[in-house]
Structure 1
């Protein structure tokens, strides 16, 4: 089987040197020359073999700040549907933790969030528990939190713009809240967004979330529904996330990417990005930096 080994570094710390590429070719036992996707930031190498070569290559390069992924070469490599988690994926924070900070409960809520994202506790009851602690907060604080606290993950806008420029449909799907996902989806450029809805009364949070909750199953179902609506195959789909509630979506996608993810998620995903920014997802599909859109 013809496969592609993709090597990716963070743009801030380029690390795909000639020595790294030479070692990679030796491990893969390939005569193919590397294709440079972006300077010392990303490159790919064709080889004949099995996906297990990715583990061997990752072990060989374990001392380098380099992500390694093995993907299939072929017509379905560039995806036509992209679904992304929001918190700690497309943005660098967890929105519910920032809301909790308004009432002095960030540390307590963040601890629950961390356990849920690691898969140590079920997502849905953990969400209800955390939302209950937010009762009485004015919805008006959300605009200030988005402006002052939330930062877009590097590479996200370029990722979405490039996929859209090449005809892909993009969807932000979050276990967070529509009060945040609407503005964030607009800032990044997604075609659409799906998220939970907080119950409001007189402009304040009631401590409740509308049912059904957008959790693990709903994320997967959103991918399937959009895939069927667009008439795509599973191989045409891409998903990215970092937490346990993303696992079903990542598993359903043709390429599921764990991005700076919790250990259980990184271990289960088709590919993991621990060093690169979100443009890594473009390199995985064979895009060179010269093809990126802004």
Structure 2
């Protein structure tokens, strides 16, 4: 079976050279010539694997490559070479496409960020159920002016590096892109527009007279709804599972990550990174383009 191992660095911290590549090739069975996607940052190494090639084979090869990599800040993605360029992209928002958790930033305006952030962290690690944790945190925001959302968006929210290049490059090659969040539409609409997503889905905070009422519209969009969205969009575009790319960082993302053709845990919680088929621990979001075999000169910036 034709496979490829992609070695990827953060562009801000390149660490790839011929010594690293040669070491990786020595581990891979029937390794072909390396194909540089971006000098010192990303390289494909094609190789041949057994048929059938199963998930445990991927993990074995990845683990060997990681051992050889040592402490170098290099991510490794191993996958079949066929259908690498995906036609549907679903992405989590908080701590994935942006660097913050929006609800934690809202809570800071009422002096409750440490308390709310602790609940958020436990929910994202899968230690507590997402839905009741969200209701508990939203209740603490009761009475907050809706106008605070604009202030948070302007002063607190920063897009993750590489996100717009990722979305716009995939769109330029015909993919449908959807931002999906267990957060709130008040944020996803603005973030999706800024980054370039064609669609966004999230929870709706209830308001009255310009203030948050401390409740979220039911049913809550959580892990099950994220997975259902992936299946719905895949079927609506008549795509196969292998045609889909999903990324996220928290426990409520794991269902859709595991059901994707390429499911990527992005700078994720330990349990999520351990369970996902692929993980990016060092790179920025352009790593998801390199994982699809895009060269740096194919990226769309606008």
Shorter-chain TM-score bucket reads over 0.9
Answer yes or no: is 1:40 the counterpart of 2:40: yes
**Does the 8 Å CA contact 2:65/2:76 hold for their aligned counterparts?**
yes
Residues in 1 aligned to 2:2 and 2:232: alpha-carbon distance in whole angstroms = 31
Give the C-alpha shift of residue 56 in structure 1: 0.9
**Corresponding residue of 2:224:** 217
Cα 1:266–1:31, aligned 2, differ >3 Å: closer, same or farther? closer
Give the C-alpha shift of residue 59 in structure 1: 1.6
For structure 2, the residue ranges without an aligned partner over 5 or more in a row are: 50-56
Give the C-alpha shift of residue 199 in structure 1: 0.5
Please provide the CA RMSD for this pair: 0.8
1:240 aligns with one of 239, 243, 247: 247
**Does the 8 Å CA contact 2:31/2:45 hold for their aligned counterparts?**
no
1:249 aligns with one of 249, 252, 256: 256
**Corresponding residue of 2:66:** 58
1:79 aligns with one of 81, 86, 98: 86
Q: Secondary structure of 1:70's match?
A: strand
**Corresponding residue of 1:180:** 187
**Corresponding residue of 1:193:** 200
Answer yes or no: is 1:23 the counterpart of 2:31: no
Answer yes or no: is 1:12 the counterpart of 2:15: no
Residues in 1 aligned to 2:40 and 2:69: alpha-carbon distance in whole angstroms = 15
**Corresponding residue of 1:268:** 275
Give the C-alpha shift of residue 122 in structure 1: 0.4
In the alignment of these two chains, the number of paired residues is 293
Answer yes or no: is 1:258 the counterpart of 2:265: yes
Give the C-alpha shift of residue 103 in structure 1: 0.1
Give the C-alpha shift of residue 84 in structure 1: 0.2
**Corresponding residue of 1:3:** 3
After superposition, where does 1:161-180 map in structure 2 within 5 Å?
161-180=168-187
**Corresponding residue of 1:103:** 110
Answer yes or no: is 1:158 the counterpart of 2:165: yes
